[in-house]
A = this chain, B = another copy of it.
C-alpha cells in the first residue's frame, strides 16, 4: 500500500535517512542553531568568483559531506533530487554536473527540500532506486540581486520581509538502514493556493494558506491529529506566517497546538539579528531539518516529525506584471524506529 487519501503517499517501504549534512553562512552561524550545523562558512563567497558559483560550491560540499558520512562515492548514489531559487536552478544543476549523479531537477521554491524528500522516498519505496540524495540550497546574495535589488544599493527591507538564508541541507535516503534510523514514512503533495497576496515581500502571508491546506490534507489523509506528532516544523513562514497559520487552523476548527508548532525560518536567527520576519529560502528548511531537527530525532527527543516545506511561486516578472503570489507546500512525515 503506497497511497492513502487524496494527496498523500504512504511509503510501504519507508526509506531510511542514512546521513544528513548542513552548511550555513556566517550570519546563520551566529544564530541560535549555530552549534547544530555541520559547517559554518567564514564568508559568503567560498573563494569563488561569483555568489552563484559560491552557492554551487555550497551544494557540492554539502552533498559530499552527506555522501562521505554514508561512505558512498559519487558513483554509488543513484539519483540527486533537488533545486534552488536561482533562475533555471543553476546552483543544483551545476553541482550535479560536478558530481556526475543522475539528476532530477525540482522547483518548489522554498519547499524544494521537502518536495525532494517526498519524491525521493517515493522512488525508493517504489523500488526504482536504492538510494537518493535530496538537496536544496539558497544564498542571500544570489536571491537578493535576482528577486529584489542589487546588494550594493543598500535597500531597506520592509518589516514583513524575511531574509533568504545562505544555507544548504542534504539528506541521503536509502532502502536499507539500521533499526534506529530515521525514516520518511509518508509524504503529501500540495496544491497551488492563492489568497491574492500581492506584496512580494510578504512571504509568510503568501505561503500560510498553502501550508494550512497541505497540513489539513495530510491529517485528513492519514486520519491523524496534530497531537499525533511530537513536532510540526514548517519552513519557512517566519514569525508572521506562523501566526497566520495558527489563525487559519483555528478558523477551520483544526486543533494545532502552538507548542507543537515551530517554524524553521523563525528559528534560524535571533530577533536582534534584524532579519525582520525571519529566515526563508530553500536552504533554510533544508539546513535546519538536516541539523537541529534530525539530530534531535536521532537523540531520541522526538519520534515523529511532520516537516512542511512551503514555497512562494512568484518570479520578478509575475510580480512586475501585478500578479499575486501563489504558495505551495509539501509535507513529509519523518519517524524514528519504524521499519
Contacts and interface: CB of A to CB of B under 8 A. Distances in A.
Given A3-B129, A127-B2, A314 B103 contact: no
B93 A316 contact: no
A87 B316 contact: yes
A79 B189 contact: yes
A328 interface: yes
Given A52-B317, A87-B315, A94-B326, A126 B129 contact: no
A321 B51 CA distance: 11
A321 B115 contact: no
Given A103-B192, A190-B103, A313 B94 contact: yes
Interface residues of A, number: 60
B123 A107 contact: no
A177 interface: no
Nearest to A145: B317
Contacts of A165: none
Contacts of A103: 189-192, 328
Contact of A105 (B102, B107, B125, B129): B107
B119 A126 contact: no
The oligomer's copy count stands at 2
A123 to B, nearest CB: 6
B78 A6 contact: yes
A174 to B, nearest CB: 14
Contact of A93 (B2, B94, B129, B326): B326
Nearest to A112: B105
Given A103-B328, A107-B107, A119-B104, A313 B126 contact: no
A89 interface: yes
A99 B281 CA distance: 26
A104 B115 contact: yes
A102 to B, nearest CB: 4
A176 B3 CA distance: 16
B128 A3 contact: yes
A46 B50 CA distance: 40
| 9 cross-chain pairs, A with B, having the tightest CB-CB distances, nearest first | A126-B126, A2-B127, A88-B315, A93-B313, A97-B192, A102-B189, A105-B107, A87-B315, A87-B87
17 contacts: A1-B127, A9-B123, A52-B321, A79-B189, A87-B88, A87-B317, A88-B314, A89-B313, A90-B314, A90-B317, A93-B328, A105-B108, A105-B313, A122-B123, A123-B126, A125-B126, A126-B126
